[in-house]
Structure 1
Amino acid sequence: MPQIVQLPLIFASQLFWLVVVFGIIYFVIAKGMVPKIQSVVEDRDRKIADDLAAAQKAREQAETSEGVYRERIEAGRSEALKVAQEAKTKAALDTEKKLKAVDEKVGTRIAEAQARIRAAADQARLELEPVAAEAASELVTKLTGQKVSAKDAEPAVKAVLHG
């Protein structure tokens, strides 16, 4: 094979050009591309660090806002409970006043009704006395055969009825 025979003759020149080409490629990559890649990576790392710092700051602000929000909610809840308790107390007092007024009206009506009942009972007793005296005189007449007038029987009936 003729290529193998020529190998020692062209080996040195191929090796030279190989080193030259790789050297050029190395310098182009090392001096041109690597700094750009490193700056992009550094910018990216810096951006990530800034974003993480901003996220941490936002988190702290959110926690602070949440604390303030919770305090406001608790204050509002306390105020609502206080207002509800005051309303309950006021309603209880109003109800108590209304119940007293109604109780007084009912008590007055009961007293009036009792007075009317007593008057009616007294009137009934007054009307009952002559009827009872007459019935007593008739009973005495039927039982004993003696005739007793209703006027004579009235004192006995009054004594029994009035105790």
Structure 2
Amino acid sequence: MFVTDAYGQETAPQPDGGHGAEAPADAGHQAGTEVAHDGGHGEAGFPPFDSSTFPSQILWVAITFGLFYLFLKKVIMPRLSSILEVRETRIAEDLAQANTMKAEADAAAAAYEQELAEARANANVIGQQARDGAKVEAETARKSIEQSLEAKLAEAEDRVAKIKDAAMQDVGAIAEETASAIVSALGGKAAKADVSAAVKSVRS
């Protein structure tokens, strides 16, 4: 479609019927000279910049743009839409799952706080019961010890009284014997009844 003048001149038919063998020897030299001469002056130019080819170029640009638009509309855009829908669905599922996990975590935290409060209340009750039980046990033990001490004290007092009575009896007998010995040593004689009466009067 884009044919330069030099190529057209080189392939044009010869006046003698198109026999290349009968062409002059300097035909190639003349053609090369003409090509160089035309190229030097830029008469043909770069084909896309040739104004005579603008309509065909515009037509091909429109066809290419239309095909590219159809390709985008039929292939690229559906794929992009499906990818965006998949990502949007996945994000929505992730958000829903995150909200569910957050709700479960909040419920677990609330249950933990409630259990902790109940455990603290139970611990306080158990501690108070333990203190009350220990106080009752200590009071019972104290009373038991006091009763035991009182019984032992009464028993000791009885023993002391008996020992005192026995000792006083021994002291009376010793005093009677001593008084009788003293009276005998002084050369006198005293009846045992009189000595006993005298000792008892002194003790009383």
* TM-score under structure 1 length normalisation: 0.69
Q: Which moved more, 1:104-113 or 1:148-157?
A: 148-157
Call closer, same or farther: CA 1:30–1:153 in 2, change over 3 Å.
same
Shift of 1:114: 1.3
The aligned residue for residue 52 of structure 1 is: 95
8 Å CA contact 1:141–1:147 kept in 2: the answer is yes
8 Å CA contact 2:172–2:199 kept in 1: the answer is yes
In 1, Cα distance between equivalents of 2:57 and 2:112: 77
Give per-residue Cα distances to partners, 1:77-121, cap 9 Å, x unaligned: 312332332233234323422332332122112201111012102
- Tell me: higher relative CO, structure 1 or 2? Use CA pairs within 8 A at least 6 residues apart: 1
The aligned residue for residue 155 of structure 2 is: 112
Give the partner amino acid of 2:75: G
Give the partner amino acid of 1:61: E
| 2:170 equivalent to 1:127 | yes
In 1, Cα distance between equivalents of 2:135 and 2:51: 119
| Unaligned segments of structure 1, at least 5 residues | none
In 1, Cα distance between equivalents of 2:81 and 2:158: 112
Give the partner amino acid of 1:20: I
| 2:107 equivalent to 1:64 | yes
8 Å CA contact 2:183–2:190 kept in 1: the answer is no
| Unaligned segments of structure 2, at least 5 residues | 1-38
8 Å CA contact 1:136–1:150 kept in 2: the answer is no
The aligned residue for residue 5 of structure 1 is: 45
Q: Which moved more, 1:128-137 or 1:40-49?
A: 128-137
Larger radius of gyration: 2
Identity among equivalent positions (%) equals 28
The aligned residue for residue 89 of structure 1 is: 132
Match of 2:80 among 34, 37, 59: 37
8 Å CA contact 1:140–1:146 kept in 2: the answer is yes
Matches within 5 A, 1:146-161: 158=200, 161=203
In 2, Cα distance between equivalents of 1:155 and 1:125: 15
Q: How many residues align?
A: 160
* TM-score under structure 2 length normalisation: 0.58
Give per-residue Cα distances to partners, 1:36-64, cap 9 Å, x unaligned: 21231133123213321331233123213
Give the partner amino acid of 2:60: W
